[in-house]
Structure 1
Amino acid sequence: MSRLAILGAGVMGETLLAGLLRADWDAADIVVTDRRPERCTELVERYGVSAADNASAVGEASTVVVVVKPQDLGDLLAEIGPVVAEDALLVSLCAGVTTASIEQQIGRPVAVVRVMPNTPAQVDEGMAAISGGAHASSEQLAHVHSLLSATGRVVTVPEKYQDAVTAISGSGPAYLFYVVESMIEGGVQLGLPRDVSTELVVQTMFGSAHLLRETGRHPTELREMVTSPGGTTAAAVRTLENHGVRAAFMAAIESARDRSRLLSGG
């Protein structure tokens, strides 16, 4: 198996690292870097991988995964650009950064694949969308698909859709947590103990998602199964519609899409 470097050992970097090891990657094939030496030491002790400086890690790697903040990417690319191998694959998990921008900053043809992951990857239930740059081959895309499959599901999309992906699955967990938070508070307002309300809401969310995936039924159909005419659910849904919740969600998703476009310079 080829050597893989993970540059940036924050939450998402560690999430990918742990997922790969659970998927039977050899720790000896993975090297990590981070601006904080103590963080590298922590991961070396926890996972048995090696650590190095950015240039050394990239010089030995056939696949380089970049997991840093977008504002830090320019300096990192300037540092590693001269040592990226001609046939290396550069995988970017930097939100809002286009493959064309990375290619331009490297200054020579390099295979780049852009990834938009999400936080459920921490429990191997992530949703990642990948897009290839101008020099990425189908085989390299398949390789990245395999990497990200260690932490959940993966789809390949044209890069023009990445802003929409960011708004849906990238930011999506926050929307759902917002709904869960609101439902828990609603239960508390109705007199339920907070721990009971939390258990009711979390399992309801989990079970509903599982039902949606396993049955393959349209969400409207499943909602109507719960909504008896003149019943409690019908009253609740009517209130949601009266408050424009559906329109608010759509507007929120458009706002996230627009912000992603702005960050990417689109």
Structure 2
Amino acid sequence: MPASHNQHDAKTYSATLIGCGKMGSAMMASWLENGLVSRVNVIDPSPLPVHLSDDPRVYYYPSYQGGIPTSDILILAVKPQILKEASQKIANDINDKTVLLSIAAGQRLSTLESIFGSDQPIIRTMPNTPAAIGKGVSVSVANTHVSLDQKEIADTLLRASGEHKWIKDEGLMDAVTALSGSGPAYLFHFIETLADAGEKLGLDADLSMSLARQTVIGSAALAEYDGGISAETLRKNVTSPGGTTQAALETLMDGRFQTILDEALNAAKKRSQELS
């Protein structure tokens, strides 16, 4: 038995994970590392990586079969396109004491209720990829059948991967998807374009990319370190009147950058609505 189970103040849960791709495996690794689970049943056709399969708390099944022990929480970490197919077999065996948590993009609570039953406790969650290193942010909405205890289970497991927020209005999930769900890709593209701009000023490609990456990494770390200070204040702190930063910001803040971001987030929101 892992040492973490001997800590009397630490609650552990049993979980069933359907789908163990990048996000599913990253989430599970964080639960195991933090001693949050006593058992995880993993259902995925692909064999597990060794660092997960060797853990005595992990029980692997290449496909769903009857007789898999019931869990406190069942996590659906499959692509939206195969959600129904992956869920149908297990839907008959799941009881209403198990809370279902879905991270399938764009799949509404009503869709999940049509598969698992209208009285099933269900949580819909939108995580993002930095969850893989414990720096993610996820946002959840629950249906009316989810109890406070079940919310606590979800909250505990999701916080192992970063920050976790609850919202009451499911209609906001498309906006959440557009901002934080897809957001990491915008930042990576910003690094690319910043490096391209540096190259155009005469820097060689490797140096320019290195400077762009580390500037974004360092600035994000500074924003985290000074969590109580607004982004506006952090920006003003590095902007000397009449200096180089101010000259650049006058161009960046002329409205075009904001317009492009507005258009990008609206496109992502629209696609999220179409997926559901």
> Do both proteins adopt the same fold according to a TM-score greater than 0.5, normalized to the shorter chain?
yes
Match of 1:74 in 2: 84
Aligned: 1:174 with 2:185? yes
Match of 1:105 in 2: 115
Match of 2:4 in 1: none
SS in 2 for 1:198: helix
Q: For each residue in 1:150-186, what CA deviation from the matched residue of structure 2 results, as whole angstroms up to 9, or x when unmatched?
A: 1111111122221111111101101111101111222
Specify whether residues 24 and 185 from structure 1 end up closer, same or farther in structure 2 by C-alpha distance, changes over 3 A only.
same
Q: Distance in 1 between matches of 2:64 and 2:206?
A: 45
Q: Distance in 1 between matches of 2:162 and 2:96?
A: 30
Match of 1:13 in 2: 24
Give unmatched runs, 5+ long, in structure 2: 1-11
SS in 1 for 2:96: coil
2:64 pairs with one of 54, 71, 78: 54
Q: Is the 8 A contact 1:6 1:30 kept in 2?
A: yes
2:260 pairs with one of 245, 248, 264: 248
Q: For each residue in 1:51-91, what CA deviation from the matched residue of structure 2 results, as whole angstroms up to 9, or x when unmatched?
A: 12324475532311000011111112211110112311111
Match of 2:203 in 1: 192
Deviation of 1:243 after TM superposition, in Å, equals 7.2
Aligned: 1:139 with 2:121? no
Deviation of 1:227 after TM superposition, in Å, equals 2.5
Q: Is the 8 A contact 1:168 1:253 kept in 2?
A: yes
Deviation of 1:6 after TM superposition, in Å, equals 0.7
TM-score (norm 2): 0.86
Specify whether residues 88 and 201 from structure 1 end up closer, same or farther in structure 2 by C-alpha distance, changes over 3 A only.
same
Q: Is the 8 A contact 1:167 1:257 kept in 2?
A: yes
Name the Cα RMSD after superposition: 2.1
Aligned: 1:40 with 2:39? no
Q: Is the 8 A contact 1:180 1:201 kept in 2?
A: yes
Q: Is the 8 A contact 1:118 1:173 kept in 2?
A: yes
TM-score (norm 1): 0.89
Q: Is the 8 A contact 2:41 2:68 kept in 1?
A: no
Q: Which letter maps to 1:82? A: N
Higher percent of residues as helix? 1
Match of 1:123 in 2: 133
For these two proteins, the number of residue pairs brought into alignment is: 261
Q: Which letter maps to 2:77? A: V
Aligned: 1:22 with 2:33? yes
Percent same amino acid among aligned pairs? 33
